[in-house]
Amino acid sequence: DEIGVFGAPGRDPRGRTISIAHAAVIAGKPPQVSGGDDARNAAWLDPREVSDLAFDHAQILQLALTWLASGVKASDLALDFLPQTFDLNGMKRVTKATLASSRPASWIARRLELLGRIEKIKGMPGRYRRVNPK
């Protein structure tokens, strides 16, 4: 998803730069990352532990984190982080990791259940299964 377009004059002292930032959820192990020139130290990092970002990159990162938390709270994005079957503790880990903890995991699970995206597994209290969309 597109997070935003950033092109304020002076955002990069090297010259006029316009950037379009995107965010996505990657299932499984993330691919190797590499960069050249001024990005030679490119790496996957925990966004909550990142500091000293260049230019307006802190603003861009904050918008991406807001997108992530909003997606977990208001859509079915939480399911992209969970296996086919999961329990409420798994949902709690997702809400904590995505900073969407302002909503309890049980609330998010109940909303997804009402939307028909998950269902309780009979005979297994506290366990849910994803329902594949038709």
**Ordered per-residue pLDDT tens for the chain, 134 residues:** 999 999 999 898 889 999 999 998 887 888 999 888 878 888 888 888 898 888 999 999 999 999 999 999 899 999 999 999 999 999 999 998 887 677 789 999 999 999 999 999 999 999 999 998 65
Closest CA to 95 of 72, 61, 121, 126: 72
| Confidence (pTM) | 0.81
For residue 34, how many C-alpha atoms fall within 13 Å in the half-sphere facing its CB? Answer: 2
DSSP state of 91: H
Closest CA to 25 of 89, 120, 98: 98
Q: Cβ distance 30 to 74 under 8 Å?
A: no
Closest CA to 24 of 50, 4, 43, 3: 3
Strands 127-130 and 85-87: antiparallel
* Three-state secondary structure call for residue 22: strand
- Residue 64 CB: number of other CB atoms within 10 A? 18
Confidence at residue 133, expressed as pLDDT on a 0 to 100 scale:
65
* Three-state secondary structure call for residue 16: coil
Place of tokens 């909303």: 111
**Interior angle at CA 129, CA 123 and CA 133, nearest 5:** 140
